Amino acid sequence: MIEIAGILLLGIGAQWLAWRLRIPSILLLLLIGFTVGPFTRQALLDPEAMFGETLRPIVALSVAVILFDGGLSLRFRELKGTGWAVTSLIVIGPVLTFAAVTTIAHWPLGFGWRPAALLGAILVVTGPTVIGPLLRSVRPAGAVGRIVHWEGIVTDPIGAIVAVLVFQAFLHGDPNHDIALVGLGKAMLAGGGMGAMGGFVVAFLLKKKLVPDFLHAPVTLAIALFAFVVSDEIQHESGLLAVTLMGVLLANQRKVAIEHIVEFGENVRVILVSTLFIVLAARLPLEVFTQIDLRSIAFVVLLILVVRPVVVFLATIGAGLKLNERVFIAWMAPRGIVAAAVAVAFAEELDAELFPEATQLVPVVFLVIIATVLVYGLTAGPLARRLGLSRGAPQGVLFFGAHAWARAMAKSLAGAGLDVLLVDTNYREVQAARIDGLRAHYGNILAHEFELRVPLDGIGHLVSQTHNDEVNALACIQFTSTFGRGQVHQLVPDDDEPGGEELPSHLRGHALYGSQVHYWTLESRFRGGAVVKRTQLSEEFGYEQFLEEYATPDAPVIPLFIIDSDKKLEVLNVDEPVKPGPGDTIVALVDPPAA
């Protein structure tokens, strides 16, 4: 009990620390796993002794859940304008990667051709559990993020299936193409059939309301695991294709809402990833680290600097991508949990006497995981900024509502060098914003494909300030997954409005500006001539002096935003005290005599 609770605590702690340090969590998870496992000779954690024969099925089912959650995040509408690029990367890309990795595994790594082919098949996969957090951190502009996201999830089951076929056709006997073709056919039929069946059953049960709401997620998870197991019994590793396809089908049907299932899957995925990497790393013997030599390092260097760029540039010929987009995609191929799990499973089945390379398989794969996560995780952000695909941690503001005082706020922030975007269903207000030189979109912020039609690069905050409190709350709920719960804000409701009961906190964003600053407060102040003033504070003229200068008994200053010297924006709300310091810029509402 202590060991199991400790694994979970260390795993979630590593996730939190990685978030604070803005580094890939997998690095900390592997470091913890190595520390409590091989580095202490399994004295602190011995997964084999703890789980026994149940370890492999636990790992297999956990990987299935992770890929099912990945499938739930894939929307066909994201392929608009990028379908050929995605198709090329998930069809041509794995073939080229398999051939190239097999070649460099034979030389300079020194593997025989059959073990080299197995390693090539394993490393076809990328790492969606690593790519997802990296993309959320980098926030690349345009479609490039969606392309990498699709490739990372779809190639995982493809790589696992190819690895099994190679294992069966080459390592259990003489090379036999018939065996590979039969296995591929069985994998496609089993995985495709069970995935489609699982998706149809879940959609039918939810549409007919045969399952109560509190059982939606558990029933869906149970059916996904059942589809995985049945498909895997027919053809080994085809279960990963089944659960991925099932997730994709559920994500793209329009009959029932699955957002609550997606949220449940995300929570489970974080827990599984946090524990799996520690367990898999902890079960390695210390001797695997002594088998890493210059040849292994040369293999990893060629994989990162030669194989991936060549594969991407060949696979995306004619895909309509710009050079900077192709360069970024070529620099985004970390390996993750699927590569680790498949390598460990196959290494145990290989005959070490017949294939001496069997002892090197796991060390090489883990070296690839560590190196690719480290290289891509630490350089993807700077590279995206250098290529003009990202602006670092986005500090811009998406204003929901383009009325006159929202435009005044946006103009003040734009004057400080921040990105702003106003959205409204009132065309006259949108037109007025555009005349003011502001970026504005005419349409419904709650529309199904809003984020696909309107680029949000440079935007990191939502400020929802329409006169309708429920609509503000809906906007905050919708953009929580995009910006994070701490970056969505809305005006407080007017207590004097008829029927204006405040919504519960979990259905709202952070309350903007002040507890008494609602829509009509701001409207009346602006109609009375109030203006938005941007002032840089100093040692001589601090926040107290600012209030003394501009506040009056009848018209108090309403602080709106704080911009620090690094252009980091803080949207002021009732939960946080206003504490600007010297060098910070305060954006506030003041009356014209004081202004």
Looking at 188-192, 456-460, 518-522, which range is the least confident one?
A: 456-460
Which residues have C-beta within 8 Å of that of residue 259, sequence separation ≥ 6?
A: none
Is residue 496 classed as helix, strand or coil in its secondary structure?
A: coil
Task: Give residue 518's pLDDT.
Answer: 87
173 pLDDT more than 60:
no
297-305: average pLDDT = 96
| Strand, helix or coil for residue 501 | coil
Residue 229: the pLDDT is: 96
Task: For residue 345, name the pLDDT band (cuts at 50, 70, 90).
Answer: confident
pLDDT the model gives residue 312? 96
What's the pLDDT at 354?
63
Structure confidence by residue, pLDDT tens digits, 476-520: 998 988 888 889 999 988 765 555 556 677 778 888 987 788 898
58 close to 292: Cβ distance less than 8 angstroms: no
Q: What's the average model confidence in pLDDT over 416-442?
A: 93
Please determine whether the domains at 2-10+54-282+290-386 and 396-590 fall in the same fold group of CATH: no
C-alpha count within 13 angstroms, C-beta hemisphere, residue 505: 6
Mean pLDDT of the chain: 88
**Residue 594 pLDDT level (bands cut at 50, 70, 90):** low
**Beta-bridge mates of residue 424:** 442
Residue 175 is predicted with a pLDDT of 58
Q: Is the pLDDT of residue 353 over 70?
A: no
For residue 202, pLDDT over 80 is answered with yes
* pLDDT value, residue 207: 93
Tokens representing 330? 């070529």
Establish how many alpha carbons lie within 13 A of residue 358's alpha carbon, considering only the half-sphere containing its beta carbon: 14
More confidently predicted of 458 and 176: 458
For position 133, what pLDDT does the model report? 81
CATH of span 396-590: 3.40.50.720
Do 368 and 186 form a contact (C-beta atoms < 8 A)?
no
- The pLDDT assigned to 586 comes to 94
Q: Is it the case that residue 216 has pLDDT exceeding 70?
A: yes
Q: Please check whether residue 159 is in contact with residue 140, taking contact to mean a CB–CB distance below 8 angstroms.
A: no
The CATH classification number of 2-10+54-282+290-386 equals 1.20.1530.20
Model confidence pLDDT, tens digit, residues 34-90: 999 999 988 899 998 999 889 999 999 999 999 999 999 898 888 887 889 999 999
Q: What is the pLDDT of residues 325-338, one digit of tens each?
A: 999 999 999 998 88
In terms of Cα–Cα distance, which of 121, 122, 117, 238 is closest to 171? 117
Please give the span between the terminal C-alpha atoms of the chain, in angstroms, as a whole number.
65
Strand partners, 512: 573
pLDDT in the model for residue 62: 94
Distance CA 264, CA 252 (A): 18
Q: Per-residue pLDDT averaged across 4-20, rounded?
A: 93
How far apart (Å, rounded) are the C-alpha atoms in residues 376 and 381? 9
Domain boundaries along the sequence of the chain = 2-10+54-282+290-386, 396-590
CB-facing half-sphere around the CA of 32: CA atoms within 13 A:
23
What percent of the chain shows pLDDT beyond 90? 54
| 184 phi/psi in degrees, rounded to 5 | -65, -45
Q: What pLDDT sits at residue 590?
A: 92
Q: What percent of the chain has pLDDT over 70?
A: 95
Q: What is the pLDDT of residues 544-573, one digit of tens each?
A: 899 888 887 778 899 999 999 888 899 998
State the helix-helix crossing angle for 25-36 and 358-386, rounded to 10 degrees. 150
pLDDT > 70? residue 352: no
d(CA 478, CA 321): 30
370-408 pLDDT, tens digit per residue, is: 999 989 988 998 999 899 888 667 889 999 999 999 999
Q: Is the pTM of this model over 0.95?
A: no
Nearest to 127 by CA among 458, 390, 374, 472: 374
Indicate the angle between helix axes 25-36 and 259-282, nearest 10 degrees. 40
Element (H, E) at 410: helix 404-415
* Cβ count near 573 (within 10 Å): 18
Contact present, 305 and 333 (Cβ < 8 Å): no
The C-alpha atoms of residue 35 and residue 19 are separated, in whole angstroms, by 21
d(Cα 280, Cα 335) in Å, to the nearest integer?
14
Structure token digits, residue 511: 């309350």
pLDDT at 555: 82
Concatenating the DSSP letter of every residue in 9-45 gives HHHHHHHHHHHHHTS-HHHHHHHHHHHHTGGGTTSS-
Picking from 8-12, 134-138, 243-247, which range would have the lowest pLDDT averaged per residue? 134-138
CB 504 within 8 A of CB 548: no
537: Cβ contacts below 8 Å, ≥ 6 apart: 543, 546, 580, 581, 582, 583, 584, 585, 586
* DSSP per-residue letters across 269-281: HHHHHHHHHHHHH
Question: Could you tell me if residue 536 is left (phi over 0), alpha (psi between -120 and 50 degrees) or otherwise beta?
Answer: beta
CB atoms within 10 A of CB 458: 19
**177 or 193, greater pLDDT:** 193
Residues near 239 by Cβ (< 8 Å), separated by ≥ 6? 60, 64, 191, 194, 227, 228, 229, 230, 231, 232
As a whole number, mean pLDDT of residues 234-256 equals 92
- Quickly list DSSP for 242-256: HHHHHHHHHHH-SSS
Given a cut of 60, is residue 307 above it in pLDDT?
A: yes
Could you give phi then psi for residue 418, rounded to 5 degrees?
Answer: -95, 150
Asked whether 325 and 389 are in contact (CB, 8 A), the reply is yes
CB 169 within 8 A of CB 236: no
Q: Is 124 helix (H, G, I), strand (E, B) or coil?
A: coil
Rounded to whole angstroms, what are the CA distances from 56 to 3, 61, 225, 227? 18, 9, 15, 18
- C-beta neighbour count of 305 within 10 angstroms: 13
